Amino acid sequence: MAKPINLAVLISGGGSTLQNLIDKISEGTLLAHIKIVISSSPDAYGLKRAKQRGIPATIVQKSGYDTSQTFSDAIVQEIEKYQIDLVILAGFLHLFKIPDSYVGKVMNIHPALIPAFCGKGYYGSRVHKAVIGSGVKISGCTVHFVDNEYDTGPIIIQRVVPVLDEDSPETLAQRVFTAETVAYPEAIRLFAEGRLQIVGRRVNTLKAEPT
């Protein structure tokens, strides 16, 4: 039987992505343990979600550090208190500068089709407002490995949803989030099965081993 992988989850706010992972783990459709939740805000509702489930949680606030580097180093220190296989950014709104040894071991989900509508300042409803304002007919979500910039790392999975004429940022966000609830667990499963191979900017998905 496959061994669960250990996750560290970084949040800044509501923790809807964290909740999705908690739900998938309890349903048994994602074989993982969330070992630690790290929040950049003491007020993040995601901290309550972690507490309700008895998941250890800690706060590392950006305001306590002069640079993205020292802030990220403090996060790494927290992660390294546990044996973590994969770090999950789940609505984490800061640049996380990763050590070289973390390359290919940190994922993010973005609520649009990268390389469109992404980068610094594109988060939450701002993304969906920009998508609707631009007139594009499709949007979606992107799971990617994290490098040391905003939303530029190699893409693992994208799922597409339509943008409807009558959409508000809220209705579009809901449709995209439904796609996210499938895409993120799927990317984590592929990682756990050792099926993600980074080749330059591409992530190739290897075929499943016959059982």
Which of 24, 13, 4 has the alpha carbon at shortest distance from 111? 13
Neighbours of 196 (CB within 10 A): 19
**Contact with ligand GAR (CB under 6 A) among 17, 20, 139, 181:** 17
Which of 167, 173, 99, 168 has the alpha carbon at shortest distance from 140? 173
**Contact with ligand GAR (CB under 6 A) among 6, 16, 152, 205:** 16
Active site residue 144: no
Which residues inside 22-51 make contact with ligand GAR, applying CB under 6 A? Answer: 46
Contacts for 134 with CB less than 8 Å, ≥ 6 apart: 117
Residue 16 is which amino acid?
S
Length of the chain: 211
Residue 147 is which amino acid?
D
Could you say whether residue 140 binds ligand GAR (CB under 6 A)? Answer: no
**For the window 50-89, what string marks contact with ligand GAR as x by the rule CB under 6 A?**
----------------------------------------
What are the catalytic residues? Answer: 110
For binding to ligand GAR (CB under 6 A), which residues are involved?
11, 13-17, 46, 90-91, 109-111, 123-124, 127, 177, 180
